[in-house]
Structure 1
């Protein structure tokens, strides 16, 4: 299930709500607004070779990691967020908060470094499972049908799907289109 709903289903929203001292509805609303921004930022960064390699390296570090909020290293999460959004981080936080009915900039800022490692752990499981599947086709036809399996393909599939487009739906406008510049 490599879609945004699949990712959302793995997010421990109740634990996040407890950690941040908000109700579950507020936490869920904020998570739903942040996910497309985070995935979109990663997709934008993966459009060039250096960004894709950096992200694949990060996926390797997060492969097999727990998605438990108690296990999240927020300092690592902050590094991920800074790498994904660069100088546009404040603009992204503002844009996400503006689209959320329940979450303000303070909550979005606190949630990003918690959510980023969880998203990377999920992406790592999807990415490495796809690589294993792509390496195993038995027939020439199966080999032809399997894609390149790169991280850009996975993220592009998430962001480029109708669901991804609906979720992004102008949320960040041109903020993510140019990567971290």
Structure 2
């Protein structure tokens, strides 16, 4: 699944944005994607993290309708996503990933991650939606539950607490009503993506 996502990325455009060559860009992407997916998987392992992630997927579900277009990628949104995925440890993750390239990849990975993060969420939203539709037999699983993209907070559902509570209640009602556990589907998709990356 990581290979599938990599094939959808415009490497030449990424290289131009990063100011590096295609081979180095691919190396940085190969380091960054598993780290992003691993961070998302870790977040999905507790209920509040999973709910926030499902909310974020609801805001990114149509991001890849026309393929990956870097002109539409919001790196400010990407920075918010990184803050939720890695907390205060983003620089530590970057340093670790940079070491895979003999220390040369660090600055490139740091510029790449805010670009990749919204793309990964859009890709993940499509995977979760597709899995939910297959499992639900076409039930009401058109997209992961989520609010408007205009709501305060943005990236991973960090808006007002009352709004989040109402949205969580709505999600629970929708999941129970449709007979689907979107949290489990989310975890399975992420686990499958990471498993595919290790083979």
Q: TM-score, normalised by structure 1?
A: 0.79
- Whether the 8 Å CA contact 1:33–1:100 is kept in 2: the answer is no
Cα shift readout 1:64-104 (whole Å, capped 9, x = no counterpart): 11321111000000001111000211110001110125843
Deviation at 1:29, TM superposition (A): 0.7
Matches within 5 A, 1:1-181: 3-66=1-64, 67-100=68-101, 103-136=104-137, 148=181, 150-159=185-194, 161=195, 163-165=196-198
Q: Does the 8 A contact of 1:59 with 1:120 survive in 2?
A: yes
Q: How many residues align?
A: 154
Aligned equivalents of 1:114 and 1:102: distance in 2? 21
Structure 1 residue ranges (4+ consecutive) displaced by more than 6 angstroms after TM superposition = none
C-alpha distance in structure 1 between counterparts of 2:103 and 2:26, whole Å? 9
SS state of the match for residue 22, structure 1?
Answer: coil
Equivalent-residue separation in structure 2 for 1:17 and 1:73 (angstroms):
17
> Is residue 62–residue 117 contact of structure 1 (8 Å, CA) maintained in 2?
yes
Task: Tell me the alpha carbon deviations over residues 91-138 of structure 1, each in whole angstroms, 9 at most, x when there is no partner.
Answer: 10001110125843211111000010111111111111111111108x
**In angstroms, what is the RMSD of aligned CA positions?**
1.9
Distance 1:126 1:116 in 2: 15
- Distance in 2 of aligned mates of 1:132 and 1:53: 19
CA distance in structure 1 between the aligned counterparts of 2:16 and 2:4, rounded to whole angstroms: 22
Unaligned runs of 5+ in 2: 139-179
> Which structure 1 segments of 5+ residues have no match?
138-146, 167-181
Q: Distance in 1 between matches of 2:192 and 2:40?
A: 12
- Taking the aligned partners of 1:31 and 1:129, their CA distance within structure 2 comes to 24
Q: When the two structures are superposed, what TM-score results if normalisation uses the length of structure 2?
A: 0.72
